[in-house]
C-alpha cells in the first residue's frame, strides 16, 4: 500500500478532512436507501426512471446529511428540513395546484436572478446558507464540499460496480 | 539619523517633529546624494508638488484631481532626479517624509530600486501604523491645513484604506497612498475596537477562503491566492487579473454546482441500473467498503479522535457491544492488541452512537462478516506501523 503518513494532523481551524468513518457512514446509509429504491416494487413497476432517480437523489442527500451527524452542521440540519418539508409537501399537494405554485416560484426566481452576487449564489447553493454570515457560510461551504465530494465518490464507485 | 528614521514608528510625536525637521534639513543639504527614491518622490513631482502646495488654497480641486490620478503623479515622475526641494517646507510634504522612513533609511540606493522600495513602503507603513496608532492622530495638528479639509481627509481615508490594503495585495499600485498624507494619519484608527473586530473578521474570512481554495481542485493557488482578499471596497477587482473573470468565489460556486450535477447524473445512472434478482446487499456493501477502505487507507492510520463507537446488532460472530468512549489516539493503537479482531472493523464502520447523532443506530447486518474478516486480517499489521 502507499506509505502512510503517521501524523497527518488536521489543522485546527478548518474542518478535518473526510475521515474514513465519514465515507463509510455515507456509504452505509446510501447503500441501504439505494437498496430500498431498487427493491421497491412500486418504483420498479411504475417504470419511472426519473422517479427512481429523484428518489435516489433524495436518498443521497439525506444519507449525506445524516452521516454527518445531523445536529453538528447547519447545512445538514437545513438539508434535512428541506427534504422533510418537500416530502410533506409532496404528500399534501400532489393532487392540488402544485403546478400553479411551481410556476409562481419560477417566475419570481427568474426576476431575482439578475441581482444576485457571488456570495448570494453560494448562499443559494449551500443548504441553510441564507441565514448565515459570510464567515460561517464559508466554513459550512467547505464542509459541505467535502461531504458532497465524498458522496459523489461513493455513488461513483457503486455505479461503476453495477453499470453494465 | 537613518536608524532613527527607521525607528520612527515607535517614537513619540515630539520626536517625530524633531526628526522631521532634521530629516528635511538633511535631505535639503545634499541634493546630489538624494538621488534616492525619497527625494525623488518629493523632488520629482514639481507639478504635483505645486499642486499640493496650492492645495491648501484650493481645498476642493486638488483633492479631486489627485484622487483621480492616484499612481501617476509619483510613479511617472520618479525618473526625475533629486532637486526642486523648494516645497520641502510645506507641511503637507513633511508628513510623508515621516511616513517614508524606509526611504530615509535607504538613501544610497539608486532610483531603479525605488519602485521596490515603494512597494516595501506600505508594508512598513502598515507596521508603523500598527505601532504608532496614536501618533498619526497627534501629528495631524502639525499639518497646517488640517483644519481646512477634515471631511476630505475622511473621504480620502477610505480610499487610502482601500488603497493601502490593495497595496498589501498588489504591489503594483503602491503609490496610491503617497499623495494622501492625511489619509494615513487617520488610519491610526486601526486600534478602534470596530476596526480591530473588522480586521479580525476579515482575517477569519480570508483564512477560510484559503481553505476553500485548497478544497476546490480547480483553483490554481498561485494565480488566485494573492488575489483573494476580502476587502470592503473592492471584492471583485482582483478577479480581473486571472484569466477570465472567475474569482475564487465563482470557482467554488462552479465546483459546488458541478458536484450537484454529478449527483444528479449518478442518481440517474443508478436508477437506470436494473436491480438484479440476485441482488445482494452483502456484496454491495462489502465491495463498497473494500474499495473505500483501500482508497482511504493512508488516512485511516491516523489516530483521529475517535467518536463513540458502538457496535450493535446481531452479528454472527460478535455479539458484543463495544464502546470506545473518545479513545485518545495512543490508546487506539494499544487497543489493537487486545481487540485485534474487532477494532479494525470498528475503524471501518464507525457506527453512530446515540450521543453523536440523534438518529437511530444502524444495526450491523450479517453481511459484514466475510469480506471484513479478510480486511481485518490485512489491517492490523499495516496499522501498527
Q: Is the pLDDT of residue A49 over 70?
A: yes
Angle value at C-alpha A25, between A19 and A31, nearest 5 degrees? 135
Report how far residue B267's alpha carbon sits from residue A62's, in angstroms, rounded to the nearest whole number: 13
B50-64, B253-267, B295-309, B315-329: which has the highest mean pLDDT? B253-267
Output the pLDDT for position A67: 84
Please count the residue pairs, one from chain A and one from chain B, whose beta carbons lie less than 8 angstroms apart. Answer: 197
* Long-range contacts, B151-159 (Cβ 8 Å, 24+): B152/B59, B152/B60, B152/B63, B152/B182, B153/B182, B153/B183, B153/B185, B153/B186, B154/B186, B155/B63, B156/B63, B156/B67, B156/B180, B156/B182, B156/B183, B157/B182, B157/B183, B157/B186, B157/B187, B158/B233, B159/B67, B159/B70, B159/B183
Summarize the confidence of residues B302-312 as an average pLDDT. Answer: 43
Q: Is the pLDDT of residue B51 over 70?
A: no
Task: Estimate the share of chain B in helix, then strand, then coil, as percent rounded to the nearest 5.
Answer: 70, 0, 30
Whether this model's pTM surpasses 0.95 = no
Other C-beta atoms closer than 10 Å to the C-beta of A59 total 22
Output the pLDDT for position A92: 80
Q: Is the pLDDT of residue B191 over 70?
A: yes
Measured between beta carbons, the chain B residues lying within 8 angstroms of A32 are: 281, 362
Phi, psi of B128, deg, nearest 5: -65, -30
Q: Is the pLDDT of residue B335 over 60?
A: no
User: Is the Cβ of A3 closer than 8 Å to some Cβ of chain B?
Assistant: yes
> Residues B345, B316: contact at Cβ < 8 Å?
no
* CB half-sphere exposure, B245, CA atoms < 13 A: 4
Which three cell numbers, joined as nine digits, stand for B248?
475564487
Which residue out of A24, A116, A132, A147 would a mutagenesis test of the B interface target, given it has the greatest number of B Cβ atoms within 10 Å?
A24
pLDDT band at B235 (very low <50, low <70, confident <90, very high): very low
Q: Report which of B31, B132, B21, B7 is spatially closest to residue B81, judged by C-alpha positions.
A: B31
Q: Which of B252, B292, B357 sits opposite A27 (nearest CB)?
A: B292
Output the pLDDT for position B258: 92
Which three cell numbers, joined as nine digits, stand for B361?
443506530
Summarize the confidence of residues B361-369 as an average pLDDT. Answer: 44
Q: Is the pLDDT of residue B264 over 70?
A: yes
Per-residue pLDDT tens digits for B2-45: 444 444 444 455 555 665 566 666 655 554 444 454 444 455 44
SS3 annotation, B153-202: HHHHHHHHHHHHHHHHHCHHHHHHHCCCHHHHHHHHHHHCHHHHHHHHHH
Q: Is the pLDDT of residue B371 over 50?
A: no
Report how far residue B106's alpha carbon sits from residue B108's, in angstroms, rounded to the nearest whole number: 6
Nearest-Cα residue of chain A relative to residue B263? A152
DSSP-derived 3-state class of residue B309: strand
DSSP-derived 3-state class of residue B323: strand
A24 with B236: Cβ contact below 8 A:
no
b/e sequence B5-25, b meaning 16+ C-beta within 10 Å:
bbebbebebeebbebbeebbe
A24 with B304: Cβ contact below 8 A:
no
B215 with A142: Cβ contact below 8 A:
yes
> Residues B194, B128: contact at Cβ < 8 Å?
no
Output the pLDDT for position B64: 42
Which three cell numbers, joined as nine digits, stand for B356?
453523536
State chain B's mean pLDDT as an integer.
53
Report how far residue B111's alpha carbon sits from residue B113's, in angstroms, rounded to the nearest whole number: 5
- H or E stretch covering B80: none
pLDDT band at B276 (very low <50, low <70, confident <90, very high): low
Amino acid at each position: 500500500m502507499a506509505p502512510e503518513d503517521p501524523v497527518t494532523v488536521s489543522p485546527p481551524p478548518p474542518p478535518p478532512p473526510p475521515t474514513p468513518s465519514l465515507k463509510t457512514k455515507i456509504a452505509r446509509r446510501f447503500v441501504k436507501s439505494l437498496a430500498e429504491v431498487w427493491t421497491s416494487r412500486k418504483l420498479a413497476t411504475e417504470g419511472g426512471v426519473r422517479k427512481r432517480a429523484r428518489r435516489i437523489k433524495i436518498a443521497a442527500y439525506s444519507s449525506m446529511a445524516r452521516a454527518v451527524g445531523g445536529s453538528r452542521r447547519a447545512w445538514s440540519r437545513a438539508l434535512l428540513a428541506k427534504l422533510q418539508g418537500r416530502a410533506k409537501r409532496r404528500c399534501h399537494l400532489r393532487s392540488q395546484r402544485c403546478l400553479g405554485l411551481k410556476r409562481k416560484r419560477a417566475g419570481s426566481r427568474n426576476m431575482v436572478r439578475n441581482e444576485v452576487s457571488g456570495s448570494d449564489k453560494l448562499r443559494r447553493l449551500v443548504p441553510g446558507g441564507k441565514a448565515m454570515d459570510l464567515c460561517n457560510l464559508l466554513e459550512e461551504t467547505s464542509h459541505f464540499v467535502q461531504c458532497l465530494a465524498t458522496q459523489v465518490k461513493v455513488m461513483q464507485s457503486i455505479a461503476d460496480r453495477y453499470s453494465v | 539619523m537613518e536608524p532613527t528614521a527607521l525607528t520612527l514608528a515607535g517614537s513619540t510625536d515630539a520626536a517625530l517633529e524633531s526628526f522631521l525637521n532634521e530629516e528635511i534639513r538633511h535631505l535639503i543639504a545634499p541634493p546630489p546624494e538624494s538621488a534616492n527614491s525619497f527625494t525623488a518622490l518629493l523632488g520629482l513631482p514639481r507639478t504635483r508638488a505645486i499642486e499640493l502646495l496650492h492645495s491648501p488654497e484650493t481645498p476642493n480641486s486638488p483633492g479631486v484631481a489627485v484622487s483621480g490620478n492616484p499612481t501617476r503623479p509619483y510613479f511617472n515622475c520618479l525618473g526625475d532626479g533629486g532637486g526642486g526641494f523648494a516645497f520641502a517646507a510645506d507641511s503637507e510634504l513633511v508628513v510623508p517624509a515621516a511616513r517614508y522612513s524606509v526611504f530615509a533609511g535607504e538613501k544610497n540606493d539608486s532610483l531603479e530600486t525605488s519602485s521596490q522600495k515603494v512597494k516595501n513602503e506600505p508594508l512598513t507603513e502598515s507596521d508603523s501604523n500598527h505601532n504608532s496608532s496614536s501618533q498619526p492622530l497627534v501629528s495631524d495638528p502639525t499639518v497646517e491645513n488640517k483644519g481646512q479639509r477634515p471631511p476630505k481627509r475622511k473621504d480620502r481615508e477610505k480610499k487610502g484604506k482601500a488603497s493601502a490594503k490593495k497595496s498589501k495585495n498588489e504591489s503594483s499600485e503602491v503609490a496610491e497612498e503617497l499623495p494622501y498624507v492625511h489619509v494615513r494619519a487617520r488610519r491610526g484608527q486601526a486600534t478602534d475596537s470596530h476596526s480591530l473586530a473588522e480586521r479580525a473578521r476579515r482575517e477569519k474570512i480570508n483564512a477560510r477562503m484559503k481553505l476553500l481554495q485548497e478544497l476546490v481542485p480547480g483553483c490554481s493557488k498561485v494565480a488566485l491566492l494573492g488575489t483573494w482578499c476580502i476587502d470592503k471596497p473592492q471584492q471583485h477587482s482582483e478577479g480581473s487579473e486571472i484569466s477570465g473573470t472567475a474569482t475564487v468565489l465563482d470557482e467554488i460556486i462552479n465546483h459546488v454546482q458541478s458536484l450537484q450535477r454529478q449527483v444528479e447524473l449518478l442518481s440517474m445512472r443508478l436508477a437506470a441500473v436494473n436491480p438484479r434478482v440476485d441482488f445482494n446487499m452483502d456484496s454491495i456493501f462489502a465491495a463498497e467498503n473494500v474499495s473505500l477502505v483501500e482508497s482511504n487507507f493512508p488516512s485511516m492510520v491516523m489516530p483521529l479522535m475517535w467518536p463513540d463507537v458502538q457496535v450493535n446488532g446481531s452479528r454472527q460472530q460478535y455479539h458484543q457491544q463495544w464502546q470506545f468512549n473518545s479513545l485518545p489516539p495512543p490508546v487506539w493503537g494499544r487497543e489493537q492488541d487486545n481487540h485485534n479482531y474487532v477494532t479494525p472493523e470498528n475503524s471501518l464502520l464507525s457506527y453512530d452512537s446515540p450521543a453523536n447523532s440523534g438518529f437511530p443506530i444502524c444495526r450491523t447486518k450479517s453481511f459484514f462478516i466475510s469480506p471484513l474478516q479478510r480486511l481485518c486480517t490485512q489491517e492490523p499489521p499495516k496499522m501498527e506501523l
